[in-house]
Amino acid sequence: MTRKKDVISPIQAAFVSTYPPRRCGIGTFTHDLAQAVSQFTGEPLGDGEAVRVIALTNQPQSYNYGPEVQFEIHANSRHDYKEAADFINLSDVDVVSLQHEFGIFGGSDGDHILHLLGNLARPVVTTFHTVLENPTPGQYSTMKAVCEASTFVVVMAQRAIDMLVNIYGVPREKIALIYHGAPDVPFLDPAYTKDQFQAVGRRVILTFGLLSPNKGIEVAIEAVAQLVEEFPDLLYIVLGATHPEVKRRYGEEYRISLERLVKSKGISDNVVFYDQFVSLKQLIRFLVAADIYLTPYQAREQITSGTLTYALACGKAIVSTPYWYAEELLADERGILVPFRDPPAMAAALRNLLRDQAVRDALRKRAYQYGRKMVWSKVADSYVTTFRRALQERRQLAVGHTPKWTYERHSIPEIKLNHLHTLTDDTGICQHALYSISDRRHGYTTDDNARAAIVMIRNWELFQDETVIPLLQNYLGFINYAFDRTTGRMRNFMAYDRRFIEEVGSEDSHGRALWALGETVAYAPTPEILGFAANLFQAALAACESFMSPRAWAYSILGLDAYLQRFGGDREARRITIKLAERLSQSFTTHATPDWPWNEDVVTYDNARLPQALIAASKLTESEEMHSHGIAILQWLLDIQTNTQEGCLSVIGNNGWLQRNGARARFDQQPIEAAGLIDACYAAYQTTHDNTWLDQIEMCFDWFLGQNEVHQSLVDLHTGGCKDGLHAAGVNQNQGAESTISWLIALQRRHKLLEAKRNE
């Protein structure tokens, strides 16, 4: 009778990772590891409970997963991570195996994964597929938090251990070195499978893996071109589909450039591209057929490589550039290292191996012998041992012991864009709604499309979520159409039939468009969007010098401030910023009195943008007086809009506003006022680091959620819609564009603060 290898207290593991059929190297690794662990415990993958998978997805529709996938996380949904933790906690899973790579998780630097880790009641063993020597502050913070939340961490190279200890402060005893796994393949002669690739009698060099520009294939082609005269039978096989993320962004631009290079070198008979994502069985056939395996990668900082591991375990003669993992794996004459981006050196190394079969065979033997420790059965054994250690350590925690690390739990809602989608058609965002339904009778405005573009670009900055790019492009397209290049001005109101009903819009709408374009320049997700926004910004900029509206000055300053974050050397933009800031500041100096510090006789609409602009411009002007003036005006706005009896925000209503020497209108209170105050307080906090501004932000934010004078929430947390304002009798039930955008801007600032606090 066959006995299970793991009959003593079988362990049950949940793997959190991308997963096939999603085309991702980490997903392939996870599948192979999960299968190996299943075999180690004596259960076929998907048939039992020993191995389960929590899969990360990057698309709205679910992949056609195998039965082992029991839960799916949408990478950009924080709520899904919390639900996944609850799902695991309610199961009989013993340990969680997290496969970590920054790019597969949502949030800034992949920090959404912390919402899973912070809510788990199971030990976690994290495998790091990337360890950065020079992380950004956000990357460092995320790595530190993941390490602290993990019982053990696994790396695949000795260098990674040293980096975790010296850079991230991880205790050495918490780190396990487990090599990348590889298939168990016999030591076969390359001639064994060459007939399957029409390569009989030819010398074969192979590179495989998902194709992307950092793989250095163009260098390899240059090297091969230097060899074909001496070795006319040479065949260089490039195996692998274009990386899905590269293909989505740039199409097949890289592959086409490689094919053109091959043609220009006259070596089309010596280079073949297999644009395929092959099965393991097919991959082994390719590997066996190769006389030499070549990895011409261009990034030195690569700490692991499944393709190199597979080649080593299959006993290949290997030539590689000296990225970190290759340096370690190919030491002691297990392979040959050549400099980065050096086709002649690569050609020389290949030439020596092609000429001398004895040297090739010696390399092959040393590689194969070393690779035996990397076959999946041995790797699975090491992982199960580490899982057991993690479980044992967790069980030894005394009852009532508080874990060393917990993720700070905040009751900040998810950012939902559902209602924004509802209000948006192929023209842009509709201005008004009846309840939650678009009211097309009122058409569109540049104001709302500019505000919506700001929401989209801030969402991109926060989460790097590519699904917002089409919406951003839609709103930017509206702004572009609104700009009349003859007059140099933006039009504002557009009827539903796409006719602008005015020749020149307001100065304020032009300023808002500049603001949206400036923020897009600062955080553009693609070079094309950056070029578009920068060109339109520059074309529309000149008009703002003639503006007379203080709000138009303020919006323009905010756009210029963002634009200068990207192009700080633009002298014309700097000049105009200073000029508008001086005008805005002077308007307060001229008009204000000790008992009325405002620059007009009435406090009306979107008021906080004025002090926000002064605070922003003070960085460029280096004027402490301008900064102090902006802070003082903002504080005055908060003072006159705080209900001290109830301790809540009470924004000036548009049913009469606040007249100088007059009474303040209590209603209709508008969401745009609360959002503007939050943005301005955020600017104040950034420049002063005074936590008082955080308290003010919380008060303004809570206004949306019911801490207001009618004690009713304005927000639909399910759709992300926001009601149009507060009346004395209650909430206005319509959910128009301005209100919804205001809520999203406020919510994004809260998420931004959460990110900043975590990175401190």
* pLDDT < 70 stretches in the chain: 1-9, 396-411, 757-760
Phi, psi of 204 (to 5 degrees): -115, 125
- Quote the tokens at residue 477: 């397209």
Distance CA 723, CA 730 (A): 11
Note the pLDDT of residue 92: 87
Note the pLDDT of residue 733: 93
Distance CA 322, CA 328 (A): 9
Note the pLDDT of residue 573: 95
How many Cα neighbours within 13 Å face the side chain of 529? 27
Cβ neighbors of 540 (< 8 A, separation 6 or more) are 483, 488, 490, 510, 513, 514, 517
Distance CA 560, CA 444 (A): 25
Domains with residue ranges and CATH for the chain: 13-181+377-395 (3.40.50.2000), 190-373 (3.40.50.2000), 418-759 (1.50.10.10)
- Quote the tokens at residue 720: 């992300």
Please give the DSSP secondary-structure letter assigned to residue 375.
B
**Is residue 42 left, alpha or beta, with left meaning phi > 0 and alpha meaning psi from -120 to 50?**
left
Distance CA 145, CA 759 (A): 10
Contact 523, 567 (CB under 8 A): no
CA Rg, the chain, in Å? 30
Kindly report the length of the chain: 760
Q: CA–CA distance from 691 to each of 654, 679, 688, 698 (Å)? A: 30, 15, 9, 11
- Quote the tokens at residue 740: 């919804």
The 3-state DSSP class for residue 546 equals helix
- Quote the tokens at residue 98: 């997290």
Note the pLDDT of residue 400: 40
Measure CA 500 to chain center.
Answer: 37
Helices and strands (H, E) in the chain, number of each type = 26, 26
Distance CA 270, CA 267 (A): 5
Contact 370, 334 (CB under 8 A): yes
**Percent of the chain residues topping a pLDDT of 90:** 78
